[in-house]
A and B are shown apart, each in its own frame.
Chain A
Amino acid sequence: MKNPLESLPMTVIMGLAVTVVMVLLVSAIGG
């Protein structure tokens, strides 16, 4: 199976997904 990081659009989409997860974690930990 191809690594999603080989695709630039997938890299950006994963970056946005990680951002959402991180915002939720920041709210859970710091809120």
Chain B
Amino acid sequence: MELEYQYWAFFVRWLHVISGVMWIGLLWYLNFVQVPTMAKIPDELKPAISKHIAPEVLFWFRWSAMATVVTGLVLAAINGYLMEALGLGLTDGVIKHTAIGFGMWMGLIMAFNVWVIIWPNQQIVLGLVEAEADAKPPAARKALLASRTNTMLSIPMLYAMVSAQNLY
């Protein structure tokens, strides 16, 4: 029974890590590779990115974000520290819960940004939804700033996750 619990906790953690690697990997691809390179790509080649690569990236990006959050919350629940971590360890004074709690909240904010700011605005930018031409520049700026916010938060978020597992 103990082994069974340990195995399923490990299995969900494995799914959480796989989803998270895909999410943050694509986030970093967008911010470190695609966005800085777009200005250097000849105009006639740009549709390859905007019509083919970016929509595919955004599909895996938003659903891996969802999978990371769901598996993370399930993992915290089956390990018995979901509420304590969401309370940043203030209710039980356990530093591991404080650390993982900071990571969880940053992950939740990042997932919110993906689904509520980045994806709707990228649909406008990429022409996946009907929009006026002059709606594109402000949508692109909103999506960029939300994506950069997530890139910034990914650094402490990963520190919190890894330190909770290895330092505390």
Interface residues of A (CB under 8 A from B): 3, 5-6, 8, 11-12, 14-16, 18-19, 22-23, 25-27, 29-31
> B66 near A: Cβ within 8 Å?
no
Q: Does B128 contact A (CB under 8 A)?
A: no
Q: How far is the CA of A26 from the CA of B101 in the complex (A)?
A: 9
Interface positions of B (Cβ within 8 A of A):
31-32, 36, 88-90, 93-99, 102, 144-145, 148-149, 151-156, 159-160, 163, 168
Determine if A19 and B148 form an interchain contact, defined as CB atoms under 8 angstroms apart: no
Give the complex CA separation of A25 and B144 in angstroms.
Answer: 28
Q: Which of A15, A18, A30 contacts B99 (CB 8 A)?
A: A30
**Which residues of A lie under 8 Å from residue B95 when comparing CB positions?**
26-27, 29-31
Interface majority SS on B: helix, strand, loop or mixed? Answer: helix
Residues of A within 8 A of B102 (CB): 22, 25-26
Chain A residues within 8 Å of B99, by CB: 26, 30
Complex-state Cα separation, A23 to B157, whole angstroms: 11
Other-chain contact of B152, A11, A25, A26 (Cβ < 8 Å): A11
Bound Cα distance from A31 to B99, whole angstroms: 11
Say which residue of B96, B145, B155 sits within 8 Å of A5 (CB atoms): B145
Alpha-carbon distance A16/B156, docked complex (angstroms): 7
| Choice from B90, B148, B151, B156 contacting A22 with Cβ under 8 Å | B156
Give every chain B residue within 8 A of A5 (Cβ-Cβ): 144-145, 148-149, 152
